[in-house]
Structure 1
Amino acid sequence: MRDILATLKREHDQLRDLHRQLSATPDEQDELRKDLLNRIEAVLIPHAKWEELKFYPAFNDRANHEQQLLFAKAMQEHRVVEKAVLPDLHAADIEGRQFAGSAAVLEELIVHHAKEEETQMFTAARKMFSPQELAEMDEQYADWKDSALAGALEMHAQVKTAAKAMLRSPSSPG
């Protein structure tokens, strides 16, 4: 049977693997770094946006006080990545230490966030939602990823990141 929690965990595993690869790239392998960053964002952005729009609100609706704090923390962690870490990563010289440092911070945040989701939020969600509901969410997520809305949200996130990166780049005016 399909299961959204298993799907989200698989994507966490993909992200952990891609981050390990990115961390292992020497500074001078800029094309490989660019490719890995693109692959990370191709998994991360739809995953995060769907969680923010669908999974987290459904979780929060059924959550107790402690679980609502998990929800609030997860949303803030998403904001940190979207509004600070990704723009800093894109602003950095891909061959430099700033890029490597920003990539390491992104990896730490994602690994921490995924572990917390898997050990706390997903455990609670297994009790909140029936197997049928988890299967339905998984189908909805698969359909959503192929939708125009998902594409538009992904493009919007990339444009916002690029704009913020331009403002943070040492070579930009200002």
Structure 2
Amino acid sequence: MDAIKLLTQDHQAVRELLNQLAESSTRATKKRTELLSEIAIQLKAHTTIEEEIFYPAFKAAGEKSDDATMYFEALEEHRAAGDLVLPDLLGTPTDSEKFSGRAKVLKELVTHHADEEEKSMFKRAKQLMDAAELKELGNKMEARKAELLEQFEAEASAGT
């Protein structure tokens, strides 16, 4: 599968999970817990394949300082969502209003990041790399994602 198609599908799946989480009530603690677990697994797998495979290929193919700026900005957005907001959310009681607020912030961060990638970085990647390169990247990313999902789901199961 083409790398950009794979990443875009990931974005759509996580957006849907985040929408469900944002629409949940403070009484839906089981649903919130399940959704949050799935979001954490999907985000971790997605950001890992981007950082290990897609971003380095994009940076290597990049020709302009704008390309490097996009690369570093994307990494920082991952850090903000994955290292700051998501861990706080995971440690927040699901029946609290604080949880609702943090879930909304995570949704906004992820949505902004995905929109930006789709409008700028992916468009630029199509200019920098040909279809065969994007397909090869996509195949590597798909295989790595399958490994990561298996690992993260096993870790999540062991933790419960």
Q: CA deviation at 1:25?
A: 0.5
Q: CA deviation at 1:115?
A: 0.3
- 2:6–2:142 Cα contact (<8 Å) kept: no
Letter matched to residue 98 of structure 2: Q
Which residue pairs with 2:5 in the alignment?
6
Q: Helix, strand or coil: the match of 1:93?
A: coil
Work out the number of aligned pairs and report it: 155
> For 1:45-84, what per-residue CA distance to the aligned partner results, in whole angstroms no more than 9, with x for missing partners?
1110110111111111122101110110000011111211
Which residue pairs with 2:16 in the alignment?
17
Letter matched to residue 102 of structure 1: R
Q: Helix, strand or coil: the match of 2:38?
A: helix
- 1:49–1:153 Cα contact (<8 Å) kept: no
Structure 2-normalised TM-score?
0.90
Q: How many Å separate the matches in 2 of 1:143 and 1:22?
A: 28
Structure 2, unaligned runs of 5 or more: none
Q: How many Å separate the matches in 1 of 2:59 and 2:93?
A: 39
- 2:6–2:138 Cα contact (<8 Å) kept: yes
Q: How many Å separate the matches in 1 of 2:48 and 2:110?
A: 14
Q: Counterparts of 1:90-101 in structure 2 under 5 Å?
A: 90-101=90-101
Q: How many Å separate the matches in 2 of 1:26 and 1:112?
A: 23
Aligned-residue CA RMSD (Å): 1.9
Which residue pairs with 2:109 in the alignment?
109
Identity %: 32
Q: Helix, strand or coil: the match of 1:60?
A: helix
Q: Confirm whether residue 125 of structure 1 aligns to residue 106 of structure 2.
A: no
Which residue pairs with 1:146 in the alignment?
146
> For 1:104-160, what per-residue CA distance to the aligned partner results, in whole angstroms no more than 9, with x for missing partners?
00000000000000000000000111101111111111211233xx369848x98xx
- 1:12–1:114 Cα contact (<8 Å) kept: yes
Q: How many Å separate the matches in 2 of 1:72 and 1:142?
A: 23
Q: How many Å separate the matches in 2 of 1:119 and 1:25?
A: 29
- 2:41–2:149 Cα contact (<8 Å) kept: no
Q: Confirm whether residue 32 of structure 1 aligns to residue 31 of structure 2.
A: yes
Structure 1-normalised TM-score?
0.83
Moved over 2 A (4+): 150-155
Q: How many Å separate the matches in 2 of 1:7 and 1:140?
A: 11
Structure 1, unaligned runs of 5 or more: 163-174
Letter matched to residue 25 of structure 1: S
> For 1:22-55, what per-residue CA distance to the aligned partner results, in whole angstroms no more than 9, with x for missing partners?
1110101000001111121222111101101111
